[in-house]
């Protein structure tokens, strides 16, 4: 059992590379919770707003629009919420099986022990969190704070007893690519600190492609390059066949 979570951080509407809502729904089907954080300054960007709401809804997560200065705190709270919801579901099912009811049916004074148990489960459960980070042109002046927030989230997750890993997928990538894997799953703060400086702003907003890549990372699916195909396969025709 582990918690799989994608946090999409964006400051605008996606404009290339597919529909991010479909991608989020695909993630949810694979047991990944997709949360979405908008760091949009004008609240009048209605379409962008609707999009993050839809991403969160399809990804069975939460959404919030916040100032970039609060990004670290918001990511912490969203992760906490994902953990709590997951544990609530697990323990809720157990309670239903054992006593045919929920926590609400137990007198308040007796809930303490179960709540303690839930706390401990939440503390110990492994977490894999993939940040899908908007690095389009408009992010330029927010990049510094965004980098700091990622390190803050790592400092928060590493305070847990359970194993916590973070990966970062930036969108767009370089040279016309839709995304770039800045950092694959790691629990090493040093590695994360080194790699966040590769987050640079510029280009379009291909949110969907980046979410799809996050799903692949989460499920351990590797990109297959031509070289790999060549190495991993034997010769097409063996000598004896001729």
Residues that bind other proteins (CB under 8 A): 70, 72-73, 76, 80, 84, 88, 103-104, 107-109, 111-112, 115-116, 118-119, 123, 148, 151-152, 155-161
Q: Which of 172, 182, 181, 168 is nearest to 206 (CA)?
A: 172
Least distance in angstroms from the C-beta of 146 to other proteins: 14
| Helix (H/G/I), strand (E/B), else coil: 4 | strand
| Helix (H/G/I), strand (E/B), else coil: 36 | strand
Q: Which of 59, 62, 56 is nearest to 27 (CA)?
A: 59
Nearer to other proteins by Cβ, of 29 and 120: the residue is 120
Least distance in angstroms from the C-beta of 34 to other proteins: 22
Least distance in angstroms from the C-beta of 142 to other proteins: 14
Nearer to other proteins by Cβ, of 29 and 111: the residue is 111
Q: Tally the C-alpha atoms within 13 A of residue 84's C-alpha that lie toward its C-beta.
A: 9
Rounded to an integer, what distance in angstroms lies between the CA atom of residue 230 and that of residue 4? 33
Helix axes 20-29, 46-58, angle to 10 degrees: 20
Nearer to other proteins by Cβ, of 57 and 160: the residue is 160
Least distance in angstroms from the C-beta of 60 to other proteins: 19
For 50-88, letters b (16+ CB in 10 Å) and e give ebbebbbbbbbbbbbbbebeebbebbbbbbeebbeebbe
| Helix (H/G/I), strand (E/B), else coil: 218 | helix
Least distance in angstroms from the C-beta of 130 to other proteins: 20
Rounded to an integer, what distance in angstroms lies between the CA atom of residue 87 and that of residue 209? 30
Nearer to other proteins by Cβ, of 159 and 240: the residue is 159
Nearer to other proteins by Cβ, of 18 and 162: the residue is 162
Least distance in angstroms from the C-beta of 8 to other proteins: 22
H or E segment at 128?
strand 127-134
Least distance in angstroms from the C-beta of 72 to other proteins: 6
Find all residues with CB under 8 Å of 39, minimum gap 6, and list them: 9, 10, 11, 65, 66, 67, 68, 71, 142, 146
């Amino acid at each position: 059992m582990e918690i799989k979570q994608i946090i999409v951080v964006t400051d605008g509407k996606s404009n290339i590379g597919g529909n991010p809502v479909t991608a989020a729904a695909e993630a949810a089907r694979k047991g990944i919770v997709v949360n979405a954080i908008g760091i949009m300054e004008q609240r009048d960007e209605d379409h962008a707003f609707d999009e993050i709401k839809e991403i969160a809804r399809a990804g069975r997560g939460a959404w919030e629009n916040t100032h970039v200065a609060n990004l670290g705190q918001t990511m912490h709270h969203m992760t906490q919420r994902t953990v709590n919801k997951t544990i609530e579901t697990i323990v809720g099912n157990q309670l239903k099986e054992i006593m045919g009811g929920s926590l609400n049916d137990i007198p308040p004074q007796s809930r303490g022990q179960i709540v303690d148990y839930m706390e401990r489960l939440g503390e110990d459960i492994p977490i894999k969190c993939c940040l899908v980070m908007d690095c389009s042109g408009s992010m330029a002046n927010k990049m510094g704070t965004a980098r700091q927030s990622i390190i803050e989230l790592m400092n928060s997750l590493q305070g847990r007893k359970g194993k916590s890993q973070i990966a970062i997928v930036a969108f767009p990538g370089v040279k016309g690519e839709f995304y770039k894997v800045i950092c694959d799953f790691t629990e090493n703060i040093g590695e994360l600190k080194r790699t966040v400086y590769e987050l640079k702003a510029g280009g379009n907003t291909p949110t969907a492609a980046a979410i799809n890549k996050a799903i692949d990372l989460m499920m351990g699916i590797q990109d297959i390059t031509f070289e790999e195909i060549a190495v991993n396969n034997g010769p097409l025709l063996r000598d004896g066949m001729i």
